[in-house]
Structure 1
Amino acid sequence: MKVLLITHRADAPRFIERVADETRSRGAEPVVFYVEDFPTKATISFAQGPDGERFLLGGHAIGAGDAIWARRYHAPVGLPEAMHPGHRRMVLAETERFLHGVLAACPAFKVDPYARVRGADHKPLQQRIFREAGVRTPRTLGTNEPEAARAFLASCPDGAVVKMLSPEPFRKDDGKLQVVMTSEVRPETLEKLEQLRLCPMYFQERVPKAYELRVTVFGTKVFAARLDSPTFAGAEVDWRTKGLETIEAWRDHALPRHVEDALHRYQDAVGLQYGAADFIVTPAGEHVLLEVNPAGEFFWLEANPPHHPMVAALVDVLVGVPGSRRRFPDLPAPPDA
């Protein structure tokens, strides 16, 4: 059995090596495919004939009985600088379409199918499913209507936050990328609401925090970790802004049954093996879902406290340890993305 690990060279090498080593320990062959090398350095081929299809990625045949972990994607590098911008856009679009088309057709087990990841990565959908499962989500307004935003923000006596729905970073004048974090709505925010006519935004009521949770799902296994984020100055709104400072402060957490059941219900609804969910726990002990990232980071919770055995859980799913994979008998296969 081969396990194809799709990633890029800027990804954490120790993490990828850890997954590869765990895969070998199960008697499977790890194959690391650096996706930014395609098409300039690495090859992918799809062939079909009377006897069926053949899938070659980096010279390795991947098919039924194998597994694919789509860890990270990346745009190609190494295209000629003199390439016409129109040709470059066409090449990038065709390369992406070809890659995902081959992966969609390949019968290997996937964590997770690209089309399902794309289809699940929507906060409105996540909030609806969890609300229907009996788990609270923040009162929310997503809009491009300034007056609606003003009325909503005026109805939030404890304040509100604003967040992006897209992970697209902002490229500054010096070329560096800056991720836009969840931020508090301030008076100057209200003065700029007319800009909603150019781009919608997502507003949520401020939920009081006792602590926060990162709950990670690998197939049928669930790991919950707790961070007392209010104790870290600057992490009151979004703990990621102080991520390195908090890295040793995460602790194991026992998740209430009804919250875990709701998380299972969500994963089954969207047809995904993996998910990284963020919750606020209020001073009254109520669990409030913020979002579920279908490709969120998790390795820091194994390399640091609470040292959850997450790589082993991931590889369990990839190699098909009995009882480790979620089953979706009533869910149609994802369409070609």
Structure 2
Amino acid sequence: MTQKIVIITHTEDNFSIDKVTEYIIKNGFEVVRFDVDLYPLTNKLSTIFQDGKWMSFLENEEGKIRIDDVAAVWYRRAYNIGSGLKEELEPKFFGAAMGEIRNTLFGFLESLDCYSLGKPSVYRRLDSKEEQLKIAHKLGLTVPETCITNNPEAAKQFILKHKSVVAKMQTGFAIYEDGVENVVFTNVIEEDNIDQLDNLLYCPMQFQKKIEKKKELRVTVVGQDIFTFEIDSQQSEESKVDWRKDGVNLLQKWVQTELPAEVEGKLRQLLDVYHVDYGAIDIIVSLENDYYFIEINAAGEFFWLDNLTDNNIISKSIADVLCDKAPRRNNGVLI
């Protein structure tokens, strides 16, 4: 019987899913795709303990599929869970129902006794930018001087000390106005505009000493493989502080490069600490050639970099880890 690998994602995910799926099938495995935005209205999930055995089933448009006996799970995305449910339920029931839906889905994912490339609990832990920075510092990685606060006075003192800092949110912070999403990017704050920080009381921010950049790196770690790409973010006024502001125009300008062996070793140690086999890491290379660790993204995107490689080598690496054809960190349920 062909072994199955479950991919947890959503219907609007990009083509990287198809590339990884292609390599998984080449490795001789079957792929079961679980789109969470179709749960629970289309996808049905059942776990049953009966006659001394645990069994789980996913019922979707393709039929009924047993998924407790899978070889591995790739927890990639969990966007728009319960899509369409709000229109089906009375408002007074919607919040409670969504709580049950999320608890049931994430509880199922945590309980699977197999290898998992990503888990909800791991993603929640990696949401802490503060812990990331502290662990990176302990491992010997260089991190920018940082202040995380909702105290306007603490922020002002930090800015006065460093003269020029960048301010950023710790989440994918966006403001929605008239149905339009306005993402809050990283911005520079100078001494002459610190009086604008009084509203910090209502929402904390992260401040870091501004690093003059030579280039920026996106490092994708899969198992023990490391794929490093660089961009000259200083070539555009829009991208100088945050390359994402001009991200579309820079998509084809990333170039594959290599990290110093010492930095690579410390990044592998970082994934060892979190016991994960995937991480998308942002690094700034200063004018003095110092490598500053900025953050690790548990489910950071990789498709635009993979597209610049021969034969989509990042997708192949992910498939090989899932199929146990490459070294990986064991993270099955332990009893």
TM-score tier (shorter): over 0.9
Q: Which is strand-richer, 1 or 2?
A: 2
Q: How many residues are paired up?
A: 328
Task: Select 2:89's aligned residue among 83, 89, 95.
Answer: 83
Q: TM-score, normalised by structure 1?
A: 0.92
Give TM-score, length-normalised by structure 2. Answer: 0.92
Which of 6, 9, 12 is the matching residue for 1:10? 12
1:212-269 CA deviation, whole Å, 9 max, x = no partner?
1001111111111111111122101111111111111111111111111111111111
Establish whether residue 179 from structure 1 lines up as the match of residue 183 from structure 2. Answer: yes
Query: Equivalences for 1:157-196 in 2 at 5 Å?
Result: 157=163, 159-172=164-177, 174-186=178-190, 190-196=194-200
Give the letter for the 1:7 counterpart.
Answer: T
Question: For the Cα contact (< 8 Å) 1:250–1:305, is it kept in 2?
Answer: no
Partner of 1:326: 329
Contact 1:3-1:28 within 8 A present in 2 as well: yes
Query: Do the aligned partners of 1:145 and 1:196 also contact (CA within 8 Å) in 2?
Result: yes
Q: Confirm or deny: 8 A CA contact 1:247 1:304 kept in the other structure.
A: no
- Distance in 2 (CA, whole Å) between partners of 1:249 and 1:194 is 39
Cα shift at 1:179: 2.2
The residue type paired with residue 49 of structure 1 is Q
- Return 107-116 or 135-144, whichever deviates more: 107-116
Q: How far off its partner does 1:191 sit?
A: 2.6
Match of 1:297 in 2: 301
Does structure 2 conserve the Cα–Cα contact (< 8 Å) formed by 1:225 and 1:252? yes
The answer to whether residue 62 in structure 2 is matched with residue 62 in structure 1 is no
Instruction: Report the alpha carbon displacement of residue 287 of structure 1 after superposing the two structures with TM.
Output: 0.3
The separation in 2 between residues aligned to 1:193 and 1:54, in whole angstroms, is: 54
| Structure 1: runs of 5+ lacking an equivalent | none
Assess if the C-alpha contact under 8 Å between 2:215 and 2:234 holds in 1.
yes
Alpha-carbon distance, 1:207 to partner = 0.5
What CA distance in whole angstroms lies between the structure 1 residues aligned with 2:311 and 2:4? 27
Match of 2:106 among 81, 100, 104: 100
Q: 1:98 to 1:327 in 2, by over 3 A?
A: closer
The RMSD of aligned alpha carbons is 2.0
Give the unaligned 5+ runs of structure 2.
Answer: none
Q: What residue in structure 2 maps to residue 210 of structure 1? A: 214
Identity %: 31
Equivalence for 1:45:
46
Q: Give the residue type in structure 2 aligned to 1:6.
A: I
CA distance in 1, matches of 2:319, 2:134: 31
Secondary structure of 2:167's partner?
strand
Deviation at 1:83, TM superposition (A): 2.9
Indicate the SS of the match to 2:213.
Answer: coil
Residues 134/62 of structure 1: CA separation in 2 closer, same or farther (3 Å cut): same
1:223/1:308 contact within 8 Å kept: no
2:253 paired residue number: 249
Q: What does residue 23 of structure 2 align with?
A: 22
- The 2-side partners of 1:91 and 1:273 are apart by 33
SS at match of 2:55: strand
Pairing partner for 1:112 from 118, 125, 142:
118
- Partner Cα distance (1:245, 1:188) in 2: 32
Secondary structure of the structure 1 residue equivalent to 2:147: strand
Amino acid at match of 1:160: V
Whether the 8 Å contact between 1:161 and 1:185 is mirrored in structure 2 is yes
* 1:60-118 Cα shifts (integer Å, max 9, x gaps): 21234521111111221122526332311111111011000111111132111211121
Query: Compared with structure 1, are the counterparts of its residues 30 and 82 closer, same or farther at alpha carbon in structure 2 (3 Å cutoff)?
Result: closer
- Kept after mapping to 2: 8 A contact 1:250/1:306: no
Tell me, yes or no, if the aligned pair for 1:251 and 1:306 is still in contact at 8 Å.
no
Flag as ranges the 4+ runs of structure 1 deviating above 6 A.
none
